[in-house]
Amino acid sequence: MSNSDIQKIKTNEVMSAVTVFNKVVYLSGQVPKNTEQDVAGQTREILATIDELLALADTDKSRLLSTQLYLKNLSDFSTVNAIWVDWLKGCVAPSRATIQADLVNPDWLIEIAVTAAQK
């Protein structure tokens, strides 16, 4: 196989926001742009970004295969979970891991990475 069968979207010198291979869509960890928000605001912003990136790769959240949520504070778990459940309404939840992590930017309260199947 050659690199021509691998699609990269929103690429910079460090990473690609989206990589597609064999009809599987891999998103890099998504972080909030507005770090002034609390964890609820950061989570909603990230989920909106994920919706946009999945659309660029011809898929959506109904096709999620797996997710990794990285939380700065595990005390935010129930808040994030409620937003997550609301965002996924009408979809079957993917496999998921939630991990407490020291994130690169101390103002990031959450980072989310997903993998999805293309339509």
pTM of the model: 0.94
Q: pLDDT (tens digit, 9 = 90+) per residue, 45-89?
A: 999 999 999 999 999 999 999 999 999 999 999 999 999 999 999
Which pLDDT score, from 0 to 100, does residue 78 have? 98
Domain for residue 15, yes or no?
no
| Number of structural domains found in the chain | 1
Task: For residue 2, name the pLDDT band (cuts at 50, 70, 90).
Answer: low
* Sign of torsion over alpha carbons 103, 105, 107, 110: negative
The region that residue 72 occupies, defined by phi over 0 for left and psi between -120 and 50 for alpha, beta otherwise, is: alpha
Domain that holds residue 109: 3-7+20-117
Q: pLDDT (tens digit, 9 = 90+) per residue, 3-58?
A: 679 999 999 999 999 999 999 999 999 999 999 999 999 999 999 999 999 999 99
Domain for residue 13, yes or no?
no
Domain for residue 44, yes or no?
yes
